Structure 1
Amino acid sequence: MGNAFFITGTDTDVGKTTVAAGLLCAARRQGFSTLAIKPVASGCDLTPQGLRNSDALALAQQSSIKLPYAQINPFAFAPAIAPHLAAQQAGVKLDVTTLQQACLQVVNQQADLTIIEGAGGWRVPICASQTMADLAKALQLPVILVVGVRLGCINHALLTAEAIAQDGLKLTGWIANCLDPTMPALADNLISLEQHLKSPCLAQVPWVADDNIEHIAEHFSALMPQLLAVSDPD
């Protein structure tokens, strides 16, 4: 049975896709099969093939199992706004059941590593009454939290971890993604995160200028044997 994880972040633009693609790349380079889904994406570009999202394309590039784009990113919206607002503008109704079904189609491919990447933070709405957290709860998958290491990250990380626990899901661990190369007391902030978060730090990704996925993946190579044994009951 494959291993699947739901990836969330402490906020938007904290590097969820960079981390997710890096994890997929590290697993693929070690001979594992990989697959990912970005069920909802806003800020998509209009191409001759239709709306395409750069995050979803990055995930698809690192997936060894190739699926049609519509399965990797079933709900794509042009405006770079919150997903529920983009869906409203497009006249599309989003709900947990529909998104869960789309995710399970990908999870059921049984890749060695499957990643479901959320949109924004843990409680980003998908409609008037449901959030991304409700999708994670419906899927009942272990969660990996991407902590965007910048000013305010400790508060954001602790609140997100508390919310994940309150929702009854397992936080497998967190990944520190350094976003600010000039952040004061960077090392002390990382120590504080390790002291206050109950789940382990799986990896630290230093700030890089180019976000080269091959280079990012190097920070996850040693993690793969541990990560791919976490959620596999066999």
Structure 2
Amino acid sequence: MTFFVTGTDTDCGKTLISSALLTAAKGETVGFKPIASGCEQTEVGLRNSDALALMAASSIKLPYEDINPFAFEPAIAPHIAAAEKGLKLEPKRIEALLKMSEFVGADFCLIEGAGGWRLPLGEGHFLSEVVQSMQLPVILVVGMKLGCLNHALLTAEAIKADGLNIVGWVANQVDPDMAYSEQNLETLKSQLTAPFLGYVPYLADATAKSAARYLDLAALESV
């Protein structure tokens, strides 16, 4: 089964949670990061830390270019970075590249988005269009910090308005000093109707393995 992982905003912990989901999942696993900015130039080309983390957590090993086909060095909005290189982030091209996920033999496959749900691709297009076209079930990562209630509820509304299902959500504590975090979590539990996959507390030395301990993927098995 293939899932799309989105978040309430940038730096909500999508990659940590995606890596943890891959670690906790049963069977053969693989994670994709189709678009990434803020890549580093290496001897073998541009490399993104998020994509590398997904690769490390995946049991199926694929070439980097298959995992992260659109890699940009500037840490800016991907459609702006693409335009500077004379490239177009066309939804149909992205979808064609991602459809290879159907042929890698994975029992559990994740496609991690960039930024939030409405990531611009340029020329009026958004990454969410690709998710719509592929009709992927969505996992929402909520970065627990001030403002997360509004961000989470608006993101959930947008996903549902696009005709897609949120099959699970994860609360990820990104601000260790967030006031009334427990009360905020309870509010989210009462407002978000999707299955709750777990609360990951703030981890000073966060790893996929340590975060995976807090997740329960049982609700995803019936998707």
TM-score, normalised by the number of residues in structure 2: 0.97
1:61 aligned to which of 37, 49, 56: 56
Choose 199-208 or 53-62, whichever is displaced more. Answer: 199-208
CA distance in 1, matches of 2:46, 2:113: 18
Q: Which residue of 1 aligns with 2:222?
A: 230
Classify the secondary structure of the residue corresponding to 2:41: strand
Structure 1 segments unaligned to the other structure (5+ residues): none
Q: Which residue of 2 aligns with 1:7?
A: 5
Q: Which residue of 2 aligns with 1:154?
A: 149
Q: Which residue of 2 aligns with 1:99?
A: 94
Aligned residues between the structures: 223
Tell me by how many angstroms 1:139 deviates: 1.4
Q: Which residue of 2 aligns with 1:50?
A: 45
Give CA deviations for 1:185-227 in whole Å, capped at 9, x if unaligned.
010000111111121221110001111221111112xx23432
Contact 2:36 2:72 in 1 (8 A): yes
Structure 2 segments unaligned to the other structure (5+ residues): none
Task: Give the 4+ runs in structure 1 shifted more than 4 A.
Answer: none
1:219 aligns with 2:211: no
**Identical amino acids, percent of aligned pairs:** 50
Q: Which residue of 2 aligns with 1:17?
A: 15
CA distance in 2, matches of 1:132, 1:152: 23
Tell me by how many angstroms 1:133 deviates: 1.0
Contact 1:84 1:94 in 2 (8 A): yes
1:115 aligns with 2:115: no
TM-score, normalised by the number of residues in structure 1: 0.93
CA distance in 2, matches of 1:196, 1:115: 25
Tell me by how many angstroms 1:6 deviates: 0.3
CA distance in 2, matches of 1:55, 1:22: 13
What RMSD over aligned residues (CA atoms) do the two structures have, in Å?
A: 1.0
Give CA deviations for 1:5-55 in whole Å, capped at 9, x if unaligned.
00000001100000000010112xx5x100111000000000000000000
Give CA deviations for 1:77-97 in whole Å, capped at 9, x if unaligned.
000001111111121111111
2:203 aligned to which of 190, 204, 208: 208
1:90 aligned to which of 69, 81, 85: 85
Q: Which residue of 2 aligns with 1:81?
A: 76
Contact 1:161 1:171 in 2 (8 A): yes
CA distance in 2, matches of 1:113, 1:7: 13
Q: Which residue of 2 aligns with 1:39?
A: 34
Tell me by how many angstroms 1:130 deviates: 0.8
Classify the secondary structure of the residue corresponding to 2:120: coil
CA distance in 2, matches of 1:210, 1:141: 32
Matched letter for residue 219 of structure 2:
Q
